[in-house]
Every structure is written in structure tokens, then in C-alpha cells.
Structure 1
Amino acid sequence: MANTLLNTSKILDKSLMILENNLAFSGRVNKEYSDEFAIKGAKIGSTVNVRKPVRFVGTTGPALAVENVVETVVPVTLDTQFHVDFTFSSQELTLNIDDFADRYLKPAMATIANKIDFDGLGLYTSVANQVGTAGTTPNDIATLLAAGTRLDQEATPRDGQRTVVWDPAANGSMVKAAAGLFNAPRPISDQYESGIFVPALGFDIGMDQNIRQATTGTRTNGTVSGAGQTGTTLNVTGLGAGGTVAAGDTFTIAGVFAVNPQSRQSTRVLRQFTVTAAATADGSGNAALTIFPSINTAASNQQYQTVSAGPANAAVVTWDVAASTQYTVNMAYHKNAFTLATADLQMPEGVDFAGRRNHKGISMRIVRQYAIGTDTFPCRIDVLYGWRPIYQELACRIAG
């Protein structure tokens, strides 16, 4: 049977299926596709708005007590246009789609998927919760249980949408550690045959070579500078003259405990904070740190309370990982912790052909032009996307 000429629909449909299969981290997060650009097309810098649900406190008794409704819209900037470009001959246009996929699409989609995944895993700097030991590859199922416990304390739903992605070293170590823990023959067989830790303990498990490495700043343990601080800025002293704080450094404050976001009861676990922007202390060791989560007390913001009480003046700040330490940042998270947003790119005119497709929240464009001098068809496949943490409290790092 003669092969038929490839067209944009066939290429894009096949490409999106391959891409979806390659997304270890990104395939397990919330994906937002914006159709507002479907006609004119989006550009780098375009913004997609994602709405977060409101929270209420509730009232006991028959009296009406109307609460203020605070709706939050989180803008996601489409700041990355990534593409793979290649050339094929007019003869190769007669390949069937499977041959074309093996020769061109699979390598191209692997490159795009790795870029999207790598960028998404960089969101670890926005995640405050962390378990495990920096510099030690996870080798005990207790680490996985600890991550699950931390998510439970944040009221993360147990709805089958929790995931852990870790690097190859952690995967190998944990497969070995859990080898004798399963009783069911099927999971044992699956794990043995694939070499990948099977879904267990409430998590889907994935191995991802794009897991990030973090390096902590040179700072020393300090103290809070000024009582009554709330919000996303924390003034700290005692960091050492010129001490650096890296984005993603996590810490606790003496006497400041986390609360369950629904019951608002203290978990009796010190609230972990992450520094979301790098900072350098002045000559006296003072710095203003930008942090997540925001310090919200019952008195300041009951609906979105995050801590049992605000920090006292001179309360000790303790970093979770020692200064100048490099470590692996594996991730446990709920699907809604992060959002990958995509939109349709602009369609060019005056080309041989161009097409767009959206599949499960990922939009892709292909453009092909004919080069008469070489009788070839230069081709490019593009994605326009942006990442944003939405509910990063529903995520927990696993240090390794």
C-alpha cells in the first residue's frame, strides 16, 4: 500500500501523544490552555489568568455572619517559546507517520519535553515544606511516609492525584529499599520488570532526570528583627556580614507553628518558609527576605491563616540545610500545586503549511516552508508556555 503525504494534523497529533508520554513531572500537574488567543495567536509575554477558589471560616449558631469573599486570580506569564527545527526532503514526505515519528518526532518531542520539565522543576524554590536529609539519597520508605504526612498536615486532598518524582539515584535506592515490603505479586513483578518504583503509599511515582540541584547560601542562623511582622517580607539580622541567602533556602522560626488550613489548629510542627528571591545581608548581617508562605495570623487574616502566632522579636531563625551545601530536590506534590499554561501561537502567512493543535492542555504549532535551492522542507515545531506555582503548599520537597 502506497504511503500518503504527511499533513499537519497527522504530525501534530502524533507529536502531542509522544510529548505527553515524555512529561514525567509536567504530565502530572494542572495544565491550563487559554483559548482567548485561538484566533490571533499569543506571543511571549502574554498572560493567562488562573482563578483560585476562596476560603471561608464559617459561623456557629443561627445568626447570619456574612464573610468577605476574597477571590484571587493568579496571572501566569507565557514567557518561554521553545522550538525544535529540522529539515527533511520531499522524498521523506512520503514516509508513513510511524516512520516519520521514529526519525524526527520522537527526538524532537524528547527535547521539548525535557525543557518543559526542567523549567517546571525549578519551581522548587517556591515550595517551603521539606523532608529528608540533604546530601543523603533517600533509602527508606519512611521518607516517603514523611512527605505524605507533611501533605496531610497541609490538608492536601487524598484523591489519587498525589505524585512523587525523584532522580535516578533516589529511584534505584528506593526500589531496593522497598523490595521486600510488598505482598501483592503484581506490584512486585511490575517493579522488578520496569526498575521504577510502583505507585504506593498514596503516591503515583515517577523518575525524572531533570530533578534540580540546589545550593544554599553562605548565611548563618540569625534572628527576627522586629516583632509583629506579617506578610511576605521578613526582616532578619545576624546572617553574617555579606551573607547570602539563595532562592529556595528554607528555614523555621522559633515559636512559629504551622496550622491546618481548614481547621486552623496548630500542627505542633514549626512552619517551614522558603526564600523566593535571593538576598545578600548588609555589613551588619541584616536582610529583608521575601518568603512563602505569607505570615498570616488569626488576627491578621483568619481565612488564610498560616501560622499559630507571629514571630517574636529576636526569635531564632534556623535554616533547614547548612550553608554552602549542594543537594538534590526531589518533589512530592498534588496535581494542583503547580500550573503549566500554554496558548496558541500566532499563525504565519506565506508558508508551505502551518498548523496548530491542543491536546490535554498543551498547544503546539508546526510551520513548514519549501527551500527551492535544496529541494528540502525546513520545519519547526513550537510551544509557548509558562509555569506558575498555584498551591505550592500542596507540595513537599524530598531532599537527597
Structure 2
Amino acid sequence: MANVLLTHDMLAERALFDLKNELTFSRNVFTGYREEFHAVGGFKKGNSVRVRLPNRFRAKKAVTVDPIELEERNTTVTVDIQAHVAFALTGQQLTFEIEDLSRKVIKPAIIALANQVDADGLAEYVNIYNMVGSPGTTPSDFSFLTAAAERLDNEAISREGRVSVLSPKAHWSMADGELKFVFQQNMVDTLIRKGFIGRFALMDFFMDQNVVSHTVGTRVSDTGAVATTSSEGATTLALKGFTENDQILQGDIITVDSVAGVNPISGQVWENAALRQFVATADLTIGSGGTGTLSISPKIYSSAANEDFLPIQTVNDLPAANDVVAIVSGASGSSHPQNMFFHPHAFALTMVPIARPMSANKSVMWGSATDEDLGLAVTVSTDWNSVAFSENTRIDVLYGWDTIEPEYCVRGTG
């Protein structure tokens, strides 16, 4: 039987099928915000929408009702990344069986796109303030995993649906260490879910070669101090006692002596008064006199905060003047992979159909496919370049990554 001439819609459907099977990190995050976007004919790079996050509450032991004002939590979701793979596709190749064309052209192109989408998602680690592990030491035993699980418990994160994504080195170190038998089970699932390596500590474990490494700022001083006592709701920390030109980079982690983390639901201080970690949300170069103002996350709310803010309490006490500040993300200038332990609601991948041009299926051959359940969309197009006298085909995806609830994730440094 003669082969059917493949249309661009057929190519897009196959590209979407291959994309679903090649994603690892991206298959384990929240993709529901695409429903918040509304546009006829698709979207353009830069489209954004404001979304509300779930409210939080703290229980009271009292008969009398004393309602509080809800602290509105919201964030902006933006589709600001357009990635593509381009190639020359001949008319003869369009007469191939779809499986043959996928093997030779579409799947290799989608593998490149899937890796890009995953890598962009894993780069969201810079927004995560909880970290476990020892910088410079590849994890290999139970303690690394249980420390991450414990931190998620301390943040009152649901145990249902937790996921871990490990770098290849961490994966193989674990697979040859104490978790050898855990990571060699469930072979059927391994074949079905890309990168799946087992389940332990109430988490599904995956390996992804796109795990990103964090480079720590260069510095002379590992410690400094708080210059002025913080206020409730602060997102900056005044520093002193460092060395001029020390760098604290976005993604670096600091602690403040005697400032412990708390369970936001109960307000209880973490066991052993474990210190609250803060992440730098912008680069800082320490100025003359060893001082500077560091932008941080999470917001600082102590037990003394207004009652309206207690459901999002983050620390037991405010950072006070002269409290010691330590940089704990690694040695000066060092680089460490950031494995991820998270609940899917930590991150949002929003992938939307690209706006259909007026020339679609006129001067430009055009096809698109969407999976509403998984929140994925792919476009395939071909046009004629009269200047170069050539015909080019491209596969495009339009998406955005957002860290929605950073407390739902823990970085595992290696």
C-alpha cells in the first residue's frame, strides 16, 4: 500500500507524542495554569496572567470566632521562552511512514527540545531556599534522602505525590550504595516512565542529566553579621562584617544564627532548632566597609507578627543586629549540582499553543497539536526562503517556568 502524504498536523501530533515520552522533570510538575490563559488562535511570547495561590490558615482553640483578614497570595505566570529545532524536510521524506520519519527526524529533534524544557525547569532551583547535603560531596546513603523528606515535613508539605530528580552522578552513587536494591526494583515502571529509578522515603525517584549546578559567589569571608534588626515581612537583610567585593550570588544560601525555621501550620520550631535558610534572590557585591543589603526569600515573619500573617510564619525570631550570618551553599567560587526533592505544586510549567499566523497553510505550511491533560503543545511549520532558495521546517514550543510555592521543594546539593 502506498504511503500517505504526511500533513503538518500529523507531524505535530507525532512530535507531541514523542515530547510526552522524553520529558522527565517536566512531567512531574504542575501544568494546570494554561487554563488561566485565554486567546483565540494561540499565544505569543511574553503573554502572562496573574493567578491566586491557595490560602493558608492556623487553627485556634477558642469558642468565640475572631476572623482574620486573608493574606492574599498570588503570582504571575508568564510564557516567555520559545524554543525550536529547525531542519530541511524534503517532499520525499513526507511520503515516509510516520514511525520511520519519527525515528529519523522528529524524535531526535524532540529529544533536544525536551532536554531544553527540562533544563530550564531545573534552573528554577535558584528560587529554592531549603537545602540539604554537603556541598562537594556526592550523596550515596539514606541520610541524604531522609534529610530532604524531613525538611518537607517541617514545611508541612503533603507526602502525597512527592518526587525526587537526581543528577546522573548522584543516581549512580545511590544505585551502588545503600539504596542498591531500592533503585533496581519496579523495572516495569522504569520502562514506562522515562528516568524512573524507584520509590523510597515516600518519593518517586528519577534521574535527569539536566540537573543544574550552582556556582557559589567568590568571597574572602564565609561569615558576617546582621547590621540592623529585620522587620516583619522583610525581603532584605542588612549585612556587615564581610569583606569588600565579596560576592553573594542569586541562589546562594545563608543562615542567621539563632533564627530557626518553624512549621507554618503549627508555629512549632523545627526539631533541634534547625536554622531557617534564606536564598539570595539577586546578586550582591559587598561594598566598602564590608556592608551590603541582600535580597532574600522567604519573607521574614516571626511569632510576633500580626495574627493575619501567622499562617505564613517562617522564623521563630526576627534576625537581630549582630547575629552571625553564614554562607552555607559551598566554598568560594565552587560549583555543585542541585538535585531536587519536591511536591509537584512547587513549580509550574505553562506550555501554550503558538499564535497561528495569517499565512498558515498559505505561504507557510502549519500544524499544531495540544495535550490538554498534560498541558503540552507543539507547532510544526515549513516555509520557503526565496533569498536562500531553500525550504526549512521547524518544531516550536512556547512555554514558561515559574516557582509557585518554593517551600514545596528542597535542594539536595552534591
Shorter-chain TM-score bucket reads over 0.9
Show structure 2 runs of 5+ residues with no match: none
Match of 2:367 in 1: 355
Q: Give 3-state SS (helix, strand or coil) of 1:299's partner.
A: coil
- Structure 1 contact 37–344 (Cα < 8 Å) conserved: no
- Structure 1 contact 154–393 (Cα < 8 Å) conserved: yes
Q: Give 3-state SS (helix, strand or coil) of 2:34's partner.
A: strand
Separation (CA, whole Å) in 1 of partners of 2:348 and 2:179: 34
C-alpha offsets along residues 296-327 of structure 1, whole Å, 9 cap, x if unaligned? 11333212111111011100011212322221
- Tell me the number of residue pairs that the alignment of Structure 1 and Structure 2 aligns: 397
Runs of 4+ aligned structure 1 residues displaced above 6 Å come to: 188-192, 371-376
Separation (CA, whole Å) in 1 of partners of 2:184 and 2:118: 33
- Residue 255 of structure 1 pairs with residue 264 of structure 2: no
Residue identity in the other structure for 2:300: I
- Residue 264 of structure 1 pairs with residue 272 of structure 2: no
Match of 2:127 in 1: 126
Q: TM-score, normalised by structure 1?
A: 0.92
Separation (CA, whole Å) in 1 of partners of 2:143 and 2:18: 35
Given the alignment, which residue of 224, 237, 241 partners 2:240?
Answer: 237
Separation (CA, whole Å) in 2 of partners of 1:44 and 1:395: 27
Q: CA deviation at 1:338?
A: 0.7
Structure 2 CA distance for partners of 1:185 and 1:81, relative to 1, 3 Å = closer
- Residue 9 of structure 1 pairs with residue 9 of structure 2: yes
Q: Cα RMSD (Å) of the superposition?
A: 2.4
Match of 1:110 in 2: 111
Separation (CA, whole Å) in 1 of partners of 2:110 and 2:185: 31
- Residue 170 of structure 1 pairs with residue 170 of structure 2: yes
Q: CA deviation at 1:372?
A: 8.4
Residue identity in the other structure for 1:157: S
Q: Equivalent residues in 2 for 1:265-304 (5 A)?
A: 265-267=268-270, 268-300=273-305, 301-304=309-312
Given the alignment, which residue of 384, 388, 398 partners 1:384?
Answer: 398
Residue identity in the other structure for 2:268: Q
Structure 2 CA distance for partners of 1:54 and 1:179, relative to 1, 3 Å = closer
Match of 2:336 in 1: 327
- Structure 1 contact 131–147 (Cα < 8 Å) conserved: yes
- Structure 2 contact 24–195 (Cα < 8 Å) conserved: no
Separation (CA, whole Å) in 2 of partners of 1:356 and 1:48: 23
- Residue 312 of structure 1 pairs with residue 320 of structure 2: yes
Structure 2 CA distance for partners of 1:196 and 1:336, relative to 1, 3 Å = closer
Identity of matched residues, %: 34
Separation (CA, whole Å) in 2 of partners of 1:190 and 1:52: 33
C-alpha offsets along residues 113-150 of structure 1, whole Å, 9 cap, x if unaligned? 11111111111111111111111111112211111111
**Which has the larger displacement, 308-317 or 72-81?**
72-81
C-alpha offsets along residues 72-112 of structure 1, whole Å, 9 cap, x if unaligned? 22102221111111121111111111111111111111111
- Residue 25 of structure 1 pairs with residue 25 of structure 2: yes
**Which has the larger displacement, 327-336 or 30-39?**
30-39
Q: Give 3-state SS (helix, strand or coil) of 1:206's partner.
A: strand
Q: TM-score, normalised by structure 2?
A: 0.89
Structure 2 CA distance for partners of 1:228 and 1:71, relative to 1, 3 Å = closer
Show structure 1 runs of 5+ residues with no match: none
Structure 2 CA distance for partners of 1:305 and 1:381, relative to 1, 3 Å = same
Match of 2:158 in 1: 157
Separation (CA, whole Å) in 2 of partners of 1:200 and 1:38: 42
Separation (CA, whole Å) in 2 of partners of 1:126 and 1:373: 45
Structure 2 CA distance for partners of 1:49 and 1:361, relative to 1, 3 Å = farther
Q: CA deviation at 1:375?
A: 9.6
Residue identity in the other structure for 1:137: T
Structure 2 CA distance for partners of 1:290 and 1:168, relative to 1, 3 Å = same
- Structure 2 contact 250–280 (Cα < 8 Å) conserved: yes
- Structure 2 contact 261–315 (Cα < 8 Å) conserved: yes
Match of 2:201 in 1: 201
